[in-house]
Amino acid sequence: MAETVLLTNIRPLGGPTTNILIEAGRITALDAPIQPGVAVLDGGGRIALPGLVEAHTHLDKSLLGLPWYKNEVGPRLVDKISNEREVRRTLPIDSHQQSARQAALTVSHGATHIRTHVDVDTECGVSGIEGVMQTREALADYVGIDIVAFPQSGLLIRPGTLELMADALRLGAETVGGLDPCAIDRDPKGHLDAIFGLAEQFGRGVDIHLHEPGEMGAFSMELIIERTRALGMGGHVMISHAFCLGMPDPAITEPLIAALAETGIAICTTAPASRPVPAVKRLAAAGVVLCAGSDGIRDTWGPYGNGDMLERAMFVGLRNNLRRHDELDLALATCTTGGAKAIGLAEYGLAAGCWADLVLVPAEAVAEAVAQRPGNRMVLRRGRLVAQGGQALFRVA
Amino acid sequence: MAETVLLTNIRPLGGPTTNILIEAGRITALDAPIQPGVAVLDGGGRIALPGLVEAHTHLDKSLLGLPWYKNEVGPRLVDKISNEREVRRTLPIDSHQQSARQAALTVSHGATHIRTHVDVDTECGVSGIEGVMQTREALADYVGIDIVAFPQSGLLIRPGTLELMADALRLGAETVGGLDPCAIDRDPKGHLDAIFGLAEQFGRGVDIHLHEPGEMGAFSMELIIERTRALGMGGHVMISHAFCLGMPDPAITEPLIAALAETGIAICTTAPASRPVPAVKRLAAAGVVLCAGSDGIRDTWGPYGNGDMLERAMFVGLRNNLRRHDELDLALATCTTGGAKAIGLAEYGLAAGCWADLVLVPAEAVAEAVAQRPGNRMVLRRGRLVAQGGQALFRVA
């Protein structure tokens, strides 16, 4: 927690230049004057944005800092899942070390909060959860980390996984993960009853990977909506990927979008260029909470990704053909306020009373920050400078 | 033209570390030993790639270095075209200055060749051509620039444009441009006869923007193929964008792809995330020459783009869901050898006898260079270091 500091010479969301006062880690006054005896941090005329929110990644999977992985993996989802289990046996992937490396990289670009899915399966058990929990504790001053216990290899098709999921929640994972109830677990009712059952038992939220395309995905989404409504879990359920919302027929997607808005289920997109995607303008207009994530970064699944959530906002913009300045504001919002709402962050934003979690970007306009992703940013967490110029100002394993 | 220099400590295409000898701007020996009296340039263990080829951009349109443009343009293609003509009247866009700025930025990231479309219309006449020709001459030691005379506002629908196109070719534009023969010019036969007529008259190649989707685009593509075949112009015709090849029905696309391969028409993609695109793996397998470009960079059309052709290769990879190392080699090839072949560069590559146009990238593997786009590159043109660490080592307007 930082002392009192006056952050000067910043332009909140690209507006006029001003100063803000930060006390005990929170923004306590806007347009604050310079006062004798109060430390000053010069924002250098940068745009101030609320800290970027990485709402969907896999901190336990990254190969950052290890020799470059030569990807020769097959094309199907199951190829990637089984290859990863195999690699985990042979490579020394330490989930604490790898998650700390990726978290630091993500903070270096401006994120102050991360939701990560962490594998739980009958081979690795909850060791990944333990490793990422170590990172969460070690880096608590620098970034908030929310852990989803994630049955990557399937829940019901791998007996013993459900019990491990419960162990993960008891240990300290915040959120119950799920995965393709039809396509992977082959039992949509069974899968969803199990994870919503865990959520009810432990009083936690749910975050489900839903890659299922077309009508199959729409069916699974209906089942998720039914359970969210029945349990009154609105505001605590996220569907990640949601490729089925990229179907062209509005007769199928519009009722789903309306139901997502009504039940308060958030949608997370990685804005992939090669898959159908939820249309962010349509969903935002309907009142659906929208957020964005990097998914895996430089792992056995693929070579891409750098943890820069301004770059992710750009991908959201490119995927949705957003070009106007107001459209780029929306792209940014998926990586700021949308993410904060989706993962339930309190006191988030640029208002007095909010935590001073900020990224300062040398750009003329929000649209420039998103489309051009300038370097030389400054990142503040709880009022303290934690990264500058693309470098985290703290050490990781 | 540089003196004799031994470029040491490089890994061609990610292979073993070696040295190459450069004399009078050309690679003259591979695996060359250190010799007394020969200057040494240390590649620092970087991967050596042939100079990146920007095969489709608009150097005359960029707003680089000007105040950030607040985009409030309508959604249709014609909105963007007419807005741009309007802005050109009100903003001080100097086509020499702007093209030089963008060319320098593009070189700074590793490109050694650029094909640029330059607007020719009844308002700006050939002033854009003249400005970019000035840049071509001023920067000839640093980058090769190929100019396409481009009837952005339409050819037949704006009488007088055809004559201006001929003027542009007389002045020194290399290539005849065209644009959406159905959708913009409303007369596909007339448009294509006119531009192929100019090509025949001046002995030049053709490069046609074909945004037209679906069956309309396929029809225009057939007309282009017919003319290319009739005139024996294979190897001298490019179709840019070619969204119609992104149609899902192989019964429509396969005959087109076969005809493109047989006639030697190159396809250029910008790999947009929000439009259908030519499938690079399928086209490459069929033997179609493939290249890539940035399209407009930070202009009135949109806020995106930075001229980094390694980033463009990444976009090709993301759009086509390329993840395996051999697939990323293909993504890179669209921005190196494919581009060189498509725009007709002679003596291009890493073999002895080729021009020493190179980019050196600090990466372990080609896949890393593409997916992670590391900074701290070195760029050589004709054997001379022209950019390092993202900075051009020459001055522009």
List pLDDT tens digits, range B371-390. Answer: 999 999 999 999 999 999 99
The CA–CA distances, whole Å, from B206 to A15, B35, B53, B173 equal 47, 46, 18, 11
Mean pLDDT over each residue of chain B, to the nearest integer: 96
To test the contact with chain B by mutation, choose from A83, A294, A304 the residue with the greatest count of B C-beta atoms within 10 A, namely A304
Sequence-ordered alpha helix ranges (H) in A172-238: 188-202, 214-231
Of all residues in chain A, the one with the smallest CA distance to B323 is A302
Which residues in B lie closer than 8 A to residue A274 (C-beta atoms)? 318-321
Which tokens is B135 given?
A: 């840049």
Q: A113 pairs with which residues across the strands?
A: A53, A144
Report CB contact under 8 Å: B303, A319: no
Which residues in B lie closer than 8 A to residue A271 (C-beta atoms)? 273
Report CB contact under 8 Å: B301, A318: no
Alpha-carbon gap, residue A203 to A169, rounded angstroms: 10
The CA–CA distances, whole Å, from B27 to A156, A395, B21, B82 equal 61, 44, 6, 47
CA A74 to chain B, closest CA, distance in angstroms equals 8
The single-letter code of the amino acid at B211 is H
| Contact status of A274 with chain B (Cβ, < 8 Å) | yes
| Contact status of B67 with chain A (Cβ, < 8 Å) | yes
Report CB contact under 8 Å: B367, A304: no
Q: Which residue has the tokens 């008259």?
A: B201
- Chain Cα centroid distance, residue B396: 21
CA B68 to chain A, closest CA, distance in angstroms equals 6
SS3 A110: coil
Tell which B residues from 141 to 180 touch A, by Cβ distance under 8 Å.
none
Phi-psi region of B214 (alpha: psi -120 to 50; beta: other; left: phi over 0): left
DSSP B272-301: -TTS----HHHHHHHT--EEE--BS-SSSS
Cβ B133 vs Cβ B147: under 8 Å? yes
| Contact status of A370 with chain B (Cβ, < 8 Å) | yes
Alpha-carbon gap, residue B54 to B64, rounded angstroms: 17
SS3 B3: coil
SS3 A38: coil
The dihedrals phi and psi of B161, each to the nearest 5 degrees, come to -70, -40
Question: Which long-range contacts does A160-165 make (Cβ < 8 Å, 24+ apart)?
Answer: A160/A122, A161/A120, A161/A121, A161/A122, A162/A194, A162/A198, A164/A120, A164/A121, A164/A122, A164/A125, A164/A126, A165/A120, A165/A195, A165/A198
- pLDDT value for A397: 65
Q: What is the pTM of this model?
A: 0.97
The dihedrals phi and psi of A26, each to the nearest 5 degrees, come to -115, 155
Which residues in A lie closer than 8 A to residue B302 (C-beta atoms)? 323, 371
Q: Taking 80 as the threshold, does the pLDDT of residue B92 lie above it? A: no
| DSSP element (H, E) containing A111 | strand A111-119
Q: Taking 60 as the threshold, does the pLDDT of residue B1 lie above it? A: no
Which tokens is A344 given?
A: 């339930």
Which tokens is A277 given?
A: 């995607």
Which residues in A lie closer than 8 A to residue B307 (C-beta atoms)? none
Of all residues in chain A, the one with the smallest CA distance to B320 is A274
The dihedrals phi and psi of B84, each to the nearest 5 degrees, come to -65, -40
- pLDDT value for A92: 75
Cβ B129 vs Cβ B145: under 8 Å? no
Question: What is the predicted ipTM?
Answer: 0.96
The dihedrals phi and psi of B277, each to the nearest 5 degrees, come to -140, 155
| Contact status of A378 with chain B (Cβ, < 8 Å) | no
List pLDDT tens digits, range B135-164. Answer: 999 999 999 999 999 999 999 999 999 999
Alpha-carbon gap, residue A202 to B50, rounded angstroms: 57
The CA–CA distances, whole Å, from B210 to B10, B31, B331, B333 equal 40, 44, 21, 22
Alpha-carbon gap, residue A168 to A46, rounded angstroms: 41
Alpha-carbon gap, residue B156 to B168, rounded angstroms: 16
Alpha-carbon gap, residue A376 to A308, rounded angstroms: 13
Q: Nearest by CB to B73, from A302, A324, A370: name it.
A: A324
Class of the domain covering A52-343:
alpha beta
- pLDDT value for A1: 47
Report CB contact under 8 Å: B372, A303: yes
Report CB contact under 8 Å: A273, B319: yes
Which residues in B lie closer than 8 A to residue A318 (C-beta atoms)? 272-274, 304
Which tokens is A146 given?
A: 């929310």
Per-domain boundaries in chain B: 5-50+349-388, 52-343
Report CB contact under 8 Å: B73, A303: no
| Contact status of A313 with chain B (Cβ, < 8 Å) | no
Which residues in B lie closer than 8 A to residue A320 (C-beta atoms)? 274
CA B368 to chain A, closest CA, distance in angstroms equals 7
Report CB contact under 8 Å: B304, A314: yes
List pLDDT tens digits, range B191-222. Answer: 999 999 999 999 999 999 999 999 999 999 99
The angle formed by the CA atoms of residues A330, A388 and A96, to the nearest 5 degrees, is 85
Which tokens is A334 given?
A: 């998926």
Q: For the domain A5-50+349-390, what is the CATH code?
A: 2.30.40.10
| DSSP element (H, E) containing A292 | strand A290-292
- Series of mean pLDDT values for 10-residue runs along chain A (397 residues): 86 97 97 93 98 98 95 91 88 92 98 98 96 98 98 96 98 98 97 98 98 97 98 97 97 98 98 97 98 97 97 98 97 98 97 98 98 97 97 90
- pLDDT value for B397: 65
B5-50+349-388 topology per CATH: Urease, subunit C; domain 1 (2.30.40)
